[in-house]
Chains A and B, each alone.
Chain A
Amino acid sequence: MRTFLAMALGKTARFLLRLVRRGGGSSLPGTIAAAIQPKLLERAIQSAPQGLVVVSGSAGKSSTTKIIVALLEAHGLRVFTNPSTANIKQGYYASVLQFGDLRGRIAADIVVLEWDEGHGAALAKELKPRLSVITNVLSDQLDRFVDPIYVQEKLAEIINNSSTVIANRDDRNVAQIANGHADVFGFGLSAELLEAGPSYAINFGEKPELSASALIKHATAERLLIMLKGTDLEIAGNYENLSQAMNVASAVLALDALVEIDAELVAQTIEALPPVFARDEMAMVRDRLVRLMLVQNPTSFQLNLDRLPSTPHPLMIMAGRDIHDPSWLWTVDFSRLDSVDVVSGFNAHELALRLHYSGVEVKLVEPKIDLANEHFAKLAGSDPTIVFSADAMRRTRRYLGLAK
């Protein structure tokens, strides 16, 4: 009865909210449902016979989750997942409300969730994942986590409560906590690629050797070659971004632990995948193609900036409310930019101050998302580009009617 009531009220709240807030999400329906039936998520997951797969870590969660979901679906499974960036408890409840029936059951064979590293630790004890993928530990969200060592502790909780673990063998923060697990498989870069690979939170401790179950042998602008448990798997595409290559390797390794792999199908599926929601996406905005880049931490901010060929015009950078302590903007190197046409978002002035000291000219500071977008829309230029944090992305997409 509680479940029925939670689902009915949550679904109604969701419906009403979406009437007044076009396309926008909200945590309110999930909060209502969770208050009525705290075990809603647990019951939904239990209704999927093949259990729960989780993806957690500082970065790469969304991309990896998307790839795993696509691969499992291609292999004939019905998958329940959470939308990108809705990776905390309220987001899961919202997904159950969206896709579950009034008895809280979901029509899925398996559940694949992206888990925020903070919230996931608490959930792991209750939900006991069948498999967890641990991407990495970065020096990120220090206002929340204080120190990478505490992120390590939280991820260790997820690992210790999972039956099987897929772990980044190159990140000693991950290798240290996964090493003692009875059923762990490592993924990573071959020795030749390691130096150019991603950086992780500083850790001077020992680096245990996890198995090289999925080893990236080549990652170029044309192809990715992974040695998966001794067999080569080749995927066409641009994999100069080694972080993305790592995401693919971990997803394929996870798939291998869950189903019998069809290698050809794996390659076809990954090659057909669109870019993850706004990570680096071209979107039609008022009759012109605009490049949208999501930045969530210093690493992704730097990667995206470095990916820009030069200063594109018009360029708008938006730092939203999700950046609680904007101090980390000072760890990003903006020197490759000459100017920024519009700076916006809740932290617009913080960003403008940072850009000022980087010698980057800022033409307009407009904290209000709607006004900034209106101004940006009028600016001429051949490479319209918006770089935004998650909060600014949501508000911009909603304002421009791009929300899905």
Chain B
Amino acid sequence: MIKLSSFKPEFFDNNGDQGNLAVISAQFSALNVEFEITNDYQGSDFLLVGDCSIAVLNHFEAELLELLPALKMRLMAGKPTLLVGRSYEYFAPLLDIDLKHGERESKFVSLRVLDHEVFGYHNSTVVEPRLQVSGSFIGTTLFGPLFAKNPQLLKKIAITLDVELKGDYFERSDNLANRVREATIF
């Protein structure tokens, strides 16, 4: 049974980041893959920490710090993890990810990673890395439904969980994502 978890999803969903969990769940359900969504942040196979407001970050800072040892291990092992937006920016220096800052930019961006294009909405002062990928550990400034828009990235993550995304549902999802990509103005 694959364990998926999201850290305090009701608070860490600033830009629809919990959609990523919904996307994984929908793809797994379509393939009849057994999974559960759990609050076991430390022991989950996939962990999402979504974007949050400044107020939420300040309020939950102590609990976020409790996650740090587990995140360090996940990063080293390249274990499926997604840190988004302010959560990524908060943890990056603690995980020795060197963020370079500049002028704030609020726009769609397209990035190259793992020989694939990854796109999404960026609204941050972070210049690089806007997408940090170590194995299946991802930190990013790209908000919202990253996996929905980039199903090929999700496919790589799923393989780490011993799931091969394929079939009608995945193909339809991929087609829709391609339409979104074609309509996006960068």
Contacts and interface: CB of A to CB of B under 8 A. Distances in A.
Contact of B123 (A146, A330, A365, A367): A146
A264 B17 CA distance: 49
B32 interface: no
B184 to A, nearest CB: 8
Given A143-B123, A349-B180, A357-B148, A327 B15 contact: yes
A142 B14 contact: yes
In the complex, which of the residues B16, B23, B54, B56 has the most CB atoms of chain A within 10 Å of its own CB atom?
B16
Interface in A319-355: 324-331, 346-350, 352-354
Interface string B3-20: 000000001011111110
A353 B143 CA distance: 16
B106 A144 contact: yes
Contact of B55 (A204, A325, A354, A359): A204
Nearest to B180: A349
Contact of B53 (A201, A330, A331): A201
Interface string B153-186: 0000000000000000000110011011011000
Contacts of B18: 330-331
B16 A330 contact: yes
Given A149-B53, A149-B54, A356-B172, A328 B123 contact: no
B53 A202 contact: yes
A139 interface: yes
Interface SS of A by simple majority: helix
Interface residues of B, number: 34
A15 B148 CA distance: 46
B26 interface: yes
A297 to B, nearest CB: 12
B183 A327 contact: no
Contacts of B55: 148-149, 201-205
A354 B14 contact: no
A147 interface: yes
B54 to A, nearest CB: 5
Given A143-B106, A143-B121, A327-B121, A352 B54 contact: no
Contacts of A326: 121, 144
Interface in B16-64: 16-19, 22-23, 26, 53-56, 58-59
Contacts of A359: 26
Contact of B121 (A325, A348, A356, A357): A325
Nearest to B176: A353
Nearest to A205: B55
A139 B172 CA distance: 32
Contact of A139 (B14, B104, B123): B14
Contact of B104 (A146, A203, A353): A146
B152 to A, nearest CB: 15
Q: Which 6 A-B pairs have the closest CB atoms?
A: A327-B144, A330-B16, A330-B19, A327-B15, A349-B179, A325-B121
18 contacts: A142-B14, A146-B106, A146-B123, A147-B53, A202-B53, A327-B19, A327-B145, A330-B16, A330-B18, A330-B22, A331-B13, A352-B176, A354-B145, A356-B173, A356-B176, A357-B19, A359-B26, A367-B183
Interface of B: 11, 13-19, 22-23, 26, 53-56, 58-59, 104, 106, 121, 123, 143-145, 148-149, 172-173, 176-177, 179-180, 182-183
Interface of A: 139, 142-144, 146-149, 201-205, 324-331, 346-350, 352-354, 356-357, 359, 365, 367
Given A142-B15, A201-B55, A356-B172, 13 more contacts: A146-B104, A146-B106, A201-B53, A202-B11, A330-B15, A331-B16, A347-B183, A353-B145, A353-B173, A356-B173, A357-B145, A365-B179, A367-B183
